[in-house]
Structures are given as C-alpha cells and as structure tokens.
Amino acid sequence: MRLAVDLNRCQGFAQCAFLAPDVFALHGEEALLFTSRFDDTLRDQVERAAAACPVQAILVDYSDEPTKAAEAVEAAEGHAG
C-alpha cells in the first residue's frame, strides 16, 4: 500500500496532518510532506486522512497488496510439503 498526493490540488488545509501525523506534515505555511509508503498499522489513520481531504488530493493505492486468491495459493504452497 502506498500514497499518491496531487500536490497541485493540495491547498494545505492540513486535515491529513491532524489525522495521520506519522505520515503527513506541513512544512511552513502550505508545503505538504508525506511518506509514500507506510506501515499497515497506520492504515486506518491514512484512510481517514484521505477521506477528510477537502479537495480529494490524496489517493491510497492498494495495487501492491496481494489478492485473496494469491494469499490462498501462498498458504497452500506453504503447507504442502
């Protein structure tokens, strides 16, 4: 899971920094700093921060997470043999 932030769209409202301070921070008045990859323990905070963005500048990308089918195959391979 990773983040993408449209910095051209971001207006510096800082809702994300309040809701997920381990991932987002404001530098100065309006410059947003963020960690594009974050620990799964912060998932709920990041999802709330993305949902709270007034201009919807934050995208949480789940494309690198394994699917349920891939997890089942990995589990079966791990137990076979």
What structural domains does the chain harbor? 2-79 (3.30.70.20)
Collapsing DSSP to helix, strand or coil, 28 comes out as coil
For residues 35-63, average pLDDT: 93
Rounded to the nearest 5 degrees, what angle is found at the Cα of 42, between the Cα atoms of 37 and 46?
A: 75
Q: What is the pLDDT of residue 28?
A: 84
Span 30-43, pLDDT tens digits: 789 999 888 889 99
Q: Are strands 2-5 and 24-27 parallel, antiparallel or unpaired?
A: unpaired
Q: Is the pTM of this model over 0.85?
A: no
Amino acid at 70: A
Looking at residue 65, the DSSP 8-state letter turns out to be S
Alpha helices in the chain (DSSP H): 15-19, 43-52, 68-79
